[in-house]
Amino acid sequence: MLYFMASLYLLAGVNHFLYPDFYYKMIPDYLPFAMQLVYISGVIEIILGIGLALPRTQKTAARGVVILLIAVFPANLNMALNTQDWHISKATLYSRLPFQLFLVFWAWIYTRDENREQQNITWKTKLVLLFARLRKPIDPNENIDIAQLRKKSERASRLGTLLFDSKIDVVDTIDATANGVPIRIYKNSKSQNQDVIIYFHGGGFVLYGLHSHENICRRLCTMNDCIVLSVDYRLAPEFSFPVAHEDAYTAILWTKNNIEKHGGNPNALILAGDSAGGNLAACMAHKCKKEQISLKAQILNYPWIDGKLDNPSIHRNGKGYLLEKETMFWFQEQYTPNKNDHCNPLVSPCYEADFSGLAPAFILTAEFDPLLDDGFKYYNQLLKSGNKVKYTEYKGVIHGFLNIPLISNTAIKSFADIHTFLKSL
């Protein structure tokens, strides 16, 4: 995008000198020295084009683009209002205005955060971050209507899915209950003895459900040719700790006893989840070990592991990257209102006494995620205790990237990495 913009401005700048009369007519009558302004703007556009092409000056040049576009907007408006003076179609003239607004929008996004210049964040990710900044769903300083918050969050989730994901077809879906806990089963074949991924959705133990994470489950189902069972555990603040964890374990027991009827192998259970769901998967791996329930693997996607909420990445990435530090503390207050539970090993698995003998784990983290260090530290705890564990930090992406995998090549690659890991077991 930067090099396209650079070539665009170089070409526009040169055209000011090749066709000065054309640009002269664009200048509103009330501005003096019209021809001089044509040549000056040509020089400026050439300089901006060169600046956009050079890595060290790209951000400064992008700021210049914003200023220039605002400055020349009256000229473009003048063209649109006086179409009879131009030997160009009205459609072409009118299209200049939204194009100019798009360029302002792009350049503004690009220059919003000083820390993102050298950080490989795609323009799609920046668009998501801008949307989150403009439409911040959670303000812990206000009285929050939980029902309205969930509706807003679901709408935002659907928009993200619409823009940056695609629905994957599966052979069959079955809505059922696991001893009272709502579940949805995804099947991609009618074969028997399939691996079974039990998936726990994220959302801070407060938000989302079966619909918000449907595309993740569908993609896991098709890419791994397995059954996926999505768990709709009860949410806080109506149901605080340990209800979500109890529902998770109930779903596991039901799966162990019933999944064979659906073609699944009860001895090839894989626990998986993202964010708060990653917490559930990690905690249930410990629970299953204690209860002697064998697991094939655990997939922890940017998991919430440590109830202290004081790892360096929480402070480093705690603002401006979708999931924010103050929001995490608010989520914690909803699910664990008793502060004594914050570091309870049953909800903060990094404080368990024994890490040996756990199911093979794949921990995925995002470079610009407050929970980055949660995943990395937990990886080290598992590794030091002799477990088989794989860890990958995905560069240039943010918390929740599995829900919007088409946001970058890095995000979509994570699903392929999960497939490779499971094939290796």
> Rounded CA gap, 55 and 279, in Å?
40
- The mean pLDDT value for 257-284 works out to 98
Which tokens hold the place of 120?
A: 């490989």
Q: How many CB atoms lie within 10 A of CB 6?
A: 19
Averaged pLDDT, 403-413: 91
Q: Among the options 247, 306, 369, 374, which is catalytic?
A: 369
From the candidates 275, 313, 348, 414, give the one annotated as an active-site residue. 275
Instruction: Give residue 53's pLDDT.
Output: 75
pLDDT category at 226 given cuts 50, 70, 90 is very high
- Give the pLDDT score at 247: 98
Highest mean pLDDT among 38-52, 127-141, 203-217: 203-217
Whether the pLDDT of residue 367 is over 90: the answer is yes
Specify the pLDDT at position 402. 96
Dump pLDDT digits (tens) for 305-355: 999 999 999 999 998 899 999 999 999 999 999 999 999 999 999 999 999
211 has catalytic annotation: no
State the pLDDT at residue 24.
72
Check the CA dihedral 327-328-329-331 and report its sign: positive
Q: What is the pLDDT of residues 98-113, one digit of tens each?
A: 655 666 666 665 555 5
How many CA atoms lie within 13 Å of 405's alpha carbon, on the beta-carbon side? 19
Catalytic residue chosen out of the listed positions 157, 374, 399, 408: 399
Token output for 25? 């007519």
- pLDDT confidence of 118, banded at 50, 70, 90? very low
Region 403-417: what's the mean pLDDT?
93
Structure tokens at 421: 């890991």
Gap between the Cα atoms of 5 and 157, Å rounded? 31
Q: Does 367 or 8 have the greater pLDDT score?
A: 367
Give the mean model confidence (pLDDT) for residues 369-386.
Answer: 98
**In three state form, how does the secondary structure of the chain look?**
CHHHHHHHHHHHHHHHHHCHHHHHCCCCCCCCCHHHHHHHHHHHHHHHHHHHHCHHHHHHHHHHHHHHHHHHHHHHHHHHHCHHHCCCCHHHHHHHHHHHHHHHHHHHHHCCCHHHCCCCCCHHHHHHHHHHHHCCCCCCCCCCCHHHHHHHHHHHHHHHHHHHCCCCCCCEEEEEEECCEEEEEEECCCCCCEEEEEEECCCCCCCCCCCCCHHHHHHHHHHHCCEEEEECCCCCCCCCCCHHHHHHHHHHHHHHHHHHHHCEEEEEEEEEEECHHHHHHHHHHHHHHHCCCCCCEEEEECCCCCCCCCCHHHHHCCCCCCCCHHHHHHHHHHHCCCHHHCCCCCCCHHHCCCCCCCCCEEEEEEEECCCHHHHHHHHHHHHHCCCCEEEEEEEEEECCHHHCHHHCHHHHHHHHHHHHHHHCC
Q: Check pLDDT > 50 for residue 117.
A: no
Kindly report the pTM of this predicted structure: 0.77
Predicted local confidence at residue 84, as pLDDT: 57
Could you tell me what percent of the chain has a pLDDT over 90? 61
Tokens of residue 5, six digits: 């913009």
Least confident piece of the model among 19-23, 98-102, 219-223, 286-290:
98-102
pLDDT at 148: 92
- Specify the residue for token string 């996004």: 109
Known catalytic membership, residue 175? no
Domains in the chain and their CATH numbers? 2-111 (no CATH), 146-423 (3.40.50.1820)
Look-up of token digits 């003048």: 78
Predicted confidence at residue 366, as pLDDT, reads 97
Note the pLDDT tens digit of each residue in 292-316: 999 999 999 999 999 999 999 999 9
Cα separation, 142 vs 136, whole angstroms: 12
369 is catalytic: yes
How many alpha carbons lie under 13 Å from residue 175 in its C-beta half-sphere? 6
Given this model, what pLDDT does residue 120 score?
74
At residue 126, the pLDDT reads 81
